[in-house]
Amino acid sequence: MNLKINSNKGSHVMGSLYILAIKSLLISVFILAGMQVSVQGQDTIKYTKPSWYFGAAAGANLNFYRGSTQELNSTFSVPAIFHNGSGVGLYAAPLVEFHRPNTVLGFMLQAGYDNRKGSFDEIVTPCNCPADLKTNLSYITIEPSIRIAPFKSNFYIYAGPRVAFNLGKSFTYTQKTNPDFLAQVAEPDLKGDFSHMNAILLSMQVGAGYDIQLSSEYKKIKWVLSPFVSYHPYFGQDPRSIESWNITTVRVGVALKLGRGHEIPAPPKVEMPMIAKVIEPEVTFSLSAPIIVPVRSKVKEIFPLRNYIFFNLGSTEIPDRYVLLRKDQVKDFKEDQLDVFVPKNQSGRSARQMVVYYNVINILGDRMGRNPMSLIRLVGSSAKGPKDGKLMAESVKTYLVNVFGINPTRIAIEGRRKPLLPSEKPGGTKELELLREGDQRVSIESGSPVILNEFQAGTAGTLRPVDIYAPKESDPEKNVNFVAKGSNEAYNSWSMEITDKNGQVKNFGPYTQEMVSIPAQAILSTPEEADFNVTMVGQSKSGNVFKQDSKLHLDMRTPPAPEELSRFSIIYEFDNYQAINIYEKYLTDVIVPKIPKDGKVIIRGYTDVIGEEAYNLKLSLDRSNDVKKILEAGLAQAGRKDVTFEVYGFGEDDSKSPFENKYPEERFYNRTVVIDLVPNK
């Protein structure tokens, strides 16, 4: 029997150097951590969990051999075929991890020493001699992985590729004696290297782990201990390019990691300069002064009335967010007094406008009652089909007939699967639920100008708008209120010394009640604005005197009269930016003549939340510029060059949008351009 023995000293030296490097890295990590922990400040500062972690992992590879091998190298083949086997090998590697606290996704990278050694099950050779084959396969492995914490907790799973570079490939073959010949002398063990080894293996792994926090929230350096287990299937793990030998591995180990947290700022201290406290006796002195009311423009808004009634998906009943009257309430209904009829589910933002819209059926019934020659068509659109859409339209018709007494022959109904201007487009795949909510509606169509906006062509435009006025501001309080809380129990009486900037003192009191109001003019006299020092003087029941100081600023100047602004709005269908012909005539014939001389026109464009944010931002600006272009053309035709413009596009910015986006009607009203006409100050 011939055997070529290859000690592969270079491979063994490389493995020893790599293990030495890992040990040096681990020692350095412990020393660095000890130095950093030793310089921590007082345990009163809290730190966040780190995003980056560095450390090392070690574990045991549980290797399972399957397949067959017989030719060990070009000079030696065993007499019988080895099939199955198993063994335990060492795994050790430095690691880097990135995952932000309380997030799902992260990244892991480990690169280190990976041993896949094992022993094949004993076989019997043709000479009836038992034989064993031991392997010592080792690799330098690089394992990048995606880290997923599905519950944003310390538990995580990971998966990724494994790239392994062969480092060691030795074997030991042992052939024992035939048990039938006791005097037989066993042959010595044969050692060598496998031939036809794959230099590089590309496989995969999946695993799970759990982070155990070893450091408190007051430590800047965070230590984490992470037990883990991973599974390396046999795919891509054929050690050799010949025969069918493959390896499946289960790795069990633990990782020790550290990272640096960031200081959590302490909450700011809130000072209360207007409130002073006396410990003995316990009395709290405070004051509240009247303030000048800032100038607020009085706004007259021409509010467009959307000609749609939106239904809940799967229902043919009018939603309860719409205002539905009793028959005896109809005589008291007026378009300009809609605050009396408030919907059950009133929107939080722009509530007054939503009150107007949610009375749309009542406004329609009132206009038809006052104009007996007007006719309408109700077109119901439902994803369930025309029959369901017709039932929706019938619900609105029944309400108008039974409550407002409209002759049913004046109301035609129709059912459709999709409205004429649908939000959901063919082939669309995103945000379909929101788009379908917008298409579940009854459209109001009419050829009568008392029903629809008179500057619109056709029968399917918006309803004639409603005028809305901003509420009048109330007059400011003219008294200064002083409170000495607890004085009834602590003092016989208390008084005040109020000193102006020139040192002149006015005395008020004594008082026995806890709160007093003094007219501001009694303190201020002249001028209309000034600063004062206020000293509260209390005499306790034991005869002791206590003082508390505070500051007072009075500003009693008369606010200027508010200017009146005019506001108009136009609303768009989904994903539309061009002002169609009906709006061009409205902008030119209605709004242009109302623009004040030397005035300013402020144009603000908005969208709903459906679609990409960047696209919506551009769409809102396109809408605003489209309106500006039409207004400029109308002004030029009138020979005017005295008007300035401000144009904005806010997209779907929820902090600036006129309405919320909970219901489809709010989203439809957010597809708008608002036009403010500001007079020259």
* pLDDT score of 473 more than 70: no
Provide the pLDDT for residue 562. 57
- Stretch among 441-450, 534-543, 620-629 having the lowest mean pLDDT: 534-543
Percent of the chain with pLDDT over 90: 44
Tokens of 497: 């010394």
| CATH C-level class of 306-469 | alpha beta
Q: Which residue, 482, 493, 600, 608, is CA-closest to 539? A: 493
Tokens of 350: 């722009």
* Beta carbons within 8 Å of 449's beta carbon, 6+ residues apart: 464
Do the beta carbons of residue 65 and residue 81 sit within 8 Å? no
The average confidence (pLDDT) of the chain is 83
Where residue 422 falls among pLDDT bands split at 50, 70, 90?
Answer: confident
* Radius of gyration of the chain measured on its C-alpha atoms: 42
Where residue 355 falls among pLDDT bands split at 50, 70, 90?
Answer: confident
- Stretch among 268-282, 313-327, 421-435, 662-676 having the lowest mean pLDDT: 268-282
* pLDDT score of 636 more than 90: yes
Higher confidence at residue 120 or residue 30? Answer: 120
**Which range, 15-19, 294-298, 456-460, 490-494, is most confident?**
490-494
* pLDDT digit string, tens, across residues 511-570: 888 888 888 777 876 667 788 899 988 888 777 888 888 888 887 776 655 566 788 988
Residues 1, 125: Cα–Cα separation, whole Å: 14
* pLDDT score of 39 more than 60: no
Provide the pLDDT for residue 566. 85
Where residue 312 falls among pLDDT bands split at 50, 70, 90?
Answer: very high
Provide the pLDDT for residue 432. 80
* pLDDT digit string, tens, across residues 184-215: 778 889 999 999 999 999 999 999 999 999 98
Domain pair 306-469 / 565-678, same fold = yes
> Domain 565-678, what architecture?
2-Layer Sandwich (3.30)
Provide the pLDDT for residue 352. 63
Give the residue-averaged pLDDT of 73-96. 94
Distance of CA 501 to the CA centre of its chain: 52
Where residue 350 falls among pLDDT bands split at 50, 70, 90?
Answer: low
- CA distances (Å), origin 234, targets 215, 248, 276, 650: 39, 5, 76, 56
Provide the pLDDT for residue 431. 79
**Positive or negative torsion for Cα 517, 522, 526, 531:** negative
Give the residue-averaged pLDDT of 334-361. 70
| CATH C-level class of 276-294+477-555 | mainly beta
Provide the pLDDT for residue 472. 44
* pLDDT score of 573 more than 80: no
Provide the pLDDT for residue 658. 84
3-class DSSP state of 316? coil
* Confidence (pTM): 0.45
* pLDDT digit string, tens, across residues 1-11: 334 334 344 44
For the chain, what are the domain ranges?
9-260, 276-294+477-555, 306-469, 565-678
Percent of the chain with pLDDT over 70: 81
